[in-house]
A and B are shown apart, each in its own frame.
Chain A
Amino acid sequence: QVQLQESGPGLVKPSDTLSLTCAVSGYSVNSRVWWGWIRQPPGKGLEWIGYLFYTGSFYYSPSLESRLTMSLDTAKNQISLKLRSVTAVDTAVYYCARIRVPEAAFDYWGPGMLVTVAS
């Protein structure tokens, strides 16, 4: 079955770069779906970060796009997220998700990873 698993440092210093990967098993990242990163600050709702199509097309959240890079690694079957110049407001649980076309349903999610920005 399809499984997603986020990984990366759980603690990042202010002004550093937050780097996460999402390993996908049971499905090829090079298939006709979107892949998304979504985050959830403690006690708050879901916030979309960006969406990446298997062709390389993407949408980035306007509030994050100047600091954000998402990419697909077909050799490792994973997607990655880099968020530069982080501050405390970037502290959140970060989720990756598969998004079906055309209905844009987020049908598989990783368990999430808490990333804390602190010195």
Chain B
Amino acid sequence: QSALTQPASVSGSPGQSITISCTGTSSDIGHYNYVSWYQQHPGKAPKLIIYEVSNRPSGVSSRFSGFKSGHTASLTISGLQPEDEADYYCSSYTSSTTLAVLGGGTKLTVL
């Protein structure tokens, strides 16, 4: 069981927008603005696409955006493209008994 809760799957059509949620606790998302998001294509390593809730690393498309409210963070992908089909994971710094906690992952299907 993962420390952060994500929906197992989401789907959308090309050009649409989708949002993936990531729910934590007062020890992680609820207390720190240290939420990250990762994109993982099949057979590949995860890639950092959002850090510190809403910042994008250099080279990441502006179609990816992040937000946080309370204990829940969210990743929005606008203007869905076929290459966005992948698994998405969230993580957060935590003051609990480890450094960072991970979400269980969400499979995005572009219909």
Contact = CB atoms under 8 A, between A and B. Distances in A.
Contacts of B89: 45-46
A104 B48 CA distance: 11
Interface of A: 34, 36, 38, 45-48, 51, 59, 61-62, 95, 99-100, 102-107, 109-112
B100 A107 contact: no
B12 interface: no
A103 B36 CA distance: 8
Contacts of B105: 45-46
B93 to A, nearest CB: 4
Contacts, number: 69
B97 A104 contact: no
Interface of B: 2, 34, 36, 38, 44-48, 51-52, 57, 87, 89, 91-93, 97-105
B45 A51 contact: no
Given A34-B99, A45-B105, A59-B97, A104 B91 contact: yes
Contacts of A104: 34, 36, 91-93, 99-100
B98 A51 contact: yes
Nearest to B106: A45
